[in-house]
Amino acid sequence: MAVVSASEPVDGSVSEGVDAPELRYFVFALFFIFGGITSLNDVILPKLKELFTLNYTQAMLVQFCFFTAYLVIGIPGAQLVKRIGYMRGAMTGLLVMMAGCLLFIPASRTATYGLFLFALFVLASGVVIVQVVANPLISLLGPQKTVHSRLTFAQAFNSLGTTVFPIVGSALILGGLAAVSADQLSGPALDAYRAAETSAIVSTYIGLAVALLVIAGAVFLFRNRLPGEQHERSSLLDGLSLIRRKRFGFGALCIFLYVGAEVSIGSLIVNYLQQSSTLGLSERGAGDLIFLYWGGAMVGRFIGSYFLRILSPGKILAGVACGAIALILLSTSSTGTISGYSLLAVGLMNSIMFPTIFSLACERLGARAADGSGIINIAIFGGAVVPLLTGVIADASGSLRTALLLPALCYAIIAAYGIYARRPASSDA
């Protein structure tokens, strides 16, 4: 029977970890579902951009509202999980996600962009709670010496979700675009067009709501699998005090930058591949290639889970960050096939970044792992800020290629962290 206590740190630092192998499959399922739902933003963003005739800055509000939930819910989510436990916390998060999916119904019927953004915020709030549970729990389920590898392997299931969901979403959402476009209509005709076209989005998210309800029911059956679970009690300020640890604070910054860079590229891929100077694809054709970006991350995580067992995680992190920079520079300085596929290949470089940064930053947090996970989830707010700034640069410069230099700068700082954190953490790091 699995037991989590203050004397057995939830970051997996005990020698043998928690003996509950069946829970690993449950955590893998959580990574799969919240990863897939997050990647659907890359599909609905170009659709909403066309339907509501948005510029890049306005369209990036999709990501801004989604990832702002990490800023707002990160610490309260961690406090909630510490109060009700990992399993009940996961169930709560899944039900909140389901509520967010159902909010797409009134958003579509009223054809209101603001309601879509609110629905995404609620959906993301549930994702935050689930993620607060998933990251420290998978670290707990095994020995400390393989925590980097184990978290990367779990993140591979996250990438499996981000690979599968865009394929299905592209067919269901982008595949249904009408022959006319929103900028050719006005008045009641425009409202009717938006309501009709967003029905594809609604159908997709209703299906997700049903799936989430089923998963929440399954989690309910596991609600007592950690009967001795305890967490160190702390206030909001106590949680934020972790930032003073250099290794953790620098790592939280890098999570902010990594998620921002990853989301920025994913959000712009469809429009980038549509450009005549890149691949000149249709919206549907470009959407169908999103899976290569996220699929590269999935493949890289399965591979990385092996190499992280035998090589320095910090050095690997620095290497893949430099690889991402090289691919962005290659893409922005070339045209045609090379330009398009080199940007898609950045997904392979992204593969091990999040789990490696997370595990490096959270080393030796012990019973404060839930607090650390909450702070890390706040740092995911970078997925709101960096894409919005990237959109502003794209609008101001008139060039997506210029805008991609901001994600490249983010990866440069991540490379520096890999070098900084290449050695094991000290007790006060």
Provide the domain limits for residue 33: 21-420
8 Å CB contact between 287 and 166: yes
Residue 397 domain-assigned?
yes
Sequence-distant (≥ 6) Cβ neighbours of residue 237 within 8 angstroms: none
Percent of the chain with pLDDT over 70: 83
Is residue 204 pLDDT above 90, yes or no?
no
Concatenated DSSP letters for 191-216? HHHHHHHHHHHHHHHHHHHHHHHHHH
Task: Dump pLDDT digits (tens) for 47-60.
Answer: 888 888 889 999 99
> How high is the pLDDT of residue 239?
61
Residue 200 domain-assigned?
yes
Task: Dump pLDDT digits (tens) for 136-164.
Answer: 777 677 666 666 667 777 777 887 888 88
Residue 11 domain-assigned?
no
Give the total number of structural domains in the chain: 1
β-strand partners of 8: 5
Is residue 365 pLDDT above 50, yes or no?
yes
Residue 272 domain-assigned?
yes
> Three-state DSSP class for 5?
strand
Task: Dump pLDDT digits (tens) for 166-190.
Answer: 888 878 777 654 556 666 667 777 7
Residue 308: count of CB within 10 angstroms of its CB: 25
pLDDT band at 362 (very low <50, low <70, confident <90, very high): confident
Average pLDDT, the chain: 82
8 Å CB contact between 129 and 1: no
**CATH, residue 143:** 1.20.1250.20
Cα radius of gyration rounded to whole Å, the chain: 21
Query: Of 123, 4, 63, which is closest to residue 385 (Cα–Cα)?
Result: 63
Task: Dump pLDDT digits (tens) for 303-350.
Answer: 887 888 888 889 999 999 999 999 999 999 999 999 999 999 999 999
Residue 413 domain-assigned?
yes
Residue 318 domain-assigned?
yes
Residue 6 domain-assigned?
no
Sequence-distant (≥ 6) Cβ neighbours of residue 424 within 8 angstroms: 363
Out of 9-13, 248-252, 305-309, 325-329, give the one with best mean pLDDT.
Answer: 325-329
> How high is the pLDDT of residue 225?
67
Return the H-helix or E-strand segment holding 321.
Answer: helix 313-332
> How high is the pLDDT of residue 177?
46
Residue 428 domain-assigned?
no
Task: Dump pLDDT digits (tens) for 73-100.
Answer: 877 887 888 888 888 898 999 999 999 9
pLDDT band at 232 (very low <50, low <70, confident <90, very high): low
Sign of the alpha-carbon dihedral angle for 282, 330, 61, 99: positive
Task: Dump pLDDT digits (tens) for 391-414.
Answer: 999 999 999 999 999 999 999 999
> Three-state DSSP class for 8?
strand
